Amino acid sequence: MEPVKRIGVLTSGGDAPGMNAAVRAVVRSATGMGIEVVGIRRGWHGLVFGDFFPMTARDVSHILNAGGTTLYTARCPEFMTEEGQQKAVATCRLLGLDGVVAIGGDGTFRGALDLSRRGVPVVGIPATIDNDIGCSNYTIGFDTACNTAVGCIDRLRDTMQSHERCSVVEVMGRHAGFLALYVGIAVGATAVLIPERGYDFERDLAEPIRRSRLRGSTHFMVVVAEGVGSALDIGNEVRDKLGLDARVTVLGHIQRGGSPTARDREMASRMGYTAVKALSEGRGDLIVGTKDGFLTEIPIEEALQMKKNLQMDRYEVLQAMQR
Ligand code: F6P
């Protein structure tokens, strides 16, 4: 095997706290192994349109604790086309890249598969606040987003308690309820609505609120995963059908920002190192993930077919707290 001399690194899709820590780990690990690194801006867009710059270990100083991504990120429709992918491959050839580390979510990995099928070795690192990547128990950014949401909801609880109101809070998560359920348990929510369970007003909302009332509570906290529907509609339902003074908060992109937690920094550092090690040893076309606390390497095609189910025993824990 020819020694790996130069690799590219990019972040793509929705940003996640800890992406910078992963970029830093890739750059520092590679330069330590004598491999040059090219930073590619705005994800696949940078490969299609030739937007890149050489990165040194110095360029990633003090980004470990920074939210967002200094490489910028984008969703790139051009990369979905035959022409766009050919351009991306041409950029890789022009730069003499022996591999690319792509940090992002599902969409990023579909792009990674396209590129790897065209002969460019790619290693993916899962980073999304949704934690919805089938091949990995954990995705970078999830812990920070959970903690951010918990901090916001704790504050909401203060004012809901004072006014004896019902707070209906919408959290992100795309089509999955991981974020909502973890956050719901952590804030002691009255009810948590997640797409995996479906939504029935009587069963999932009215009943837990009634039980909470019987326990003596005069304020209520409802966490809604965006995949279930609009918190505004659910807030109106609570007002109309239960006669409660409901207030709706959509946490939105607040959840994507902020300095990554220790867990996200540590995970990003390990995944970044593992991705570079794989490329340096001639292993490409895979996604780094976690299983039972250990890091895994799964071929991209297989990884994209894997499904991760929300562990419903967590829902049981939530229910046990609501009795
Ligand atoms: O995938 C991360 C995520 O924040 C989802 O939770 C959310 O549905 C989506 O991205 C929002 O995307 P955008 O930043 O394009 O509005």
Coil, strand or helix at 171: strand
Same domain, 129 and 16: yes
Judgement on whether residues 162 and 70 belong to the same structural domain of the protein? no
Please check whether residues 154 and 131 belong to one and the same domain. no
Shared-domain flag, residues 173 and 228: yes
Residue 323 falls inside a structural domain: no
Q: Are residues 131 and 267 in the same domain?
A: yes
Per-residue model confidence as pLDDT tens digits over 204-241: 999 999 999 999 999 999 999 999 999 999 999 999 99
Known active-site residue 264 = no
Task: Output the CA 24–ligand 1 centroid distance in Å.
Answer: 24
Nearest-CA residue for ligand 1 atom 9 is 174
Q: 275 and 131, same structural domain?
A: yes
Average pLDDT, the chain: 97
Q: pLDDT tier at 312 (50, 70, 90 boundaries)?
A: confident
Q: How many domains does the chain have?
A: 2
Beta carbon of 130 within 6 Å of any ligand 1 atom = yes
Q: 68 and 177: one domain? A: no
Q: Is residue 292 part of a domain?
A: yes
For residue 176, give the CATH number of its domain. Answer: 3.40.50.460
The four Cα atoms 219, 159, 248, 75 give a dihedral, to 10 degrees, of -130
Domain co-membership, 132 together with 159: no
Ligand 1 atom closest to residue 179's alpha carbon, by position in its atom list: 6
Cα of first residue to Cα of last residue in the chain, in angstroms, is 62
Q: Is residue 182 part of a domain?
A: yes
Report if residue 90 sits inside a domain. Answer: yes
Rounded CA-CA distance 155/290 in Å is 33
In sequence order, the 6+-apart residues with CB closer than 8 A to the CB of 113 are: 122, 285, 300, 301, 304
- Domain range holding 216? 144-256
* Shared-domain flag, residues 125 and 53: yes
Does 16 share its domain with 118?
yes
> 39 forms bridges with which residues in the sheet?
9, 53
Kindly state whether residues 42 and 185 are assigned to the same domain: no
Domain-embedded: residue 150: yes
* Residue 318 included in any domain: no
| Whole-prediction pTM | 0.97
Query: What digits encode the pLDDT tens for the residues 12-63?
Result: 999 999 999 999 999 999 999 999 999 999 999 999 999 999 999 999 999 9
Here the CATH number for the domain that contains residue 21 is 3.40.50.450
Q: How confident is the model at residue 103 (pLDDT cuts 50, 70, 90)?
A: very high
pLDDT band for 258, please (50, 70, 90 cuts): very high
* 74 class by beta-carbon count within 10 Å (0-12 exposed, 13-18 middle, 19+ buried): middle
Q: Is residue 312 part of a domain?
A: no
Q: How far apart are CA 140 and CA 146, in angstroms?
A: 12
Q: 130 and 278 share a domain?
A: yes
129 Cβ closer than 6 Å to some ligand 1 atom: yes
In the block, residue with structure tokens 């959509």: 250
**323: pLDDT strictly greater than 80:** no
Ligand 1 pocket mutation, candidates 129, 250, 255, criterion most atoms within 8 A of CB:
129
The answer to whether position 281 is within a domain reads yes
Q: Would you state the pLDDT for residue 75?
A: 85
Of the candidates 162, 123, 147, the residue with the CA atom closest to the CA atom of residue 280: 123
1 has a pLDDT exceeding 90: no
Which listed residue (15, 98, 106, 130) is catalytic? 130
DSSP, res 95: H
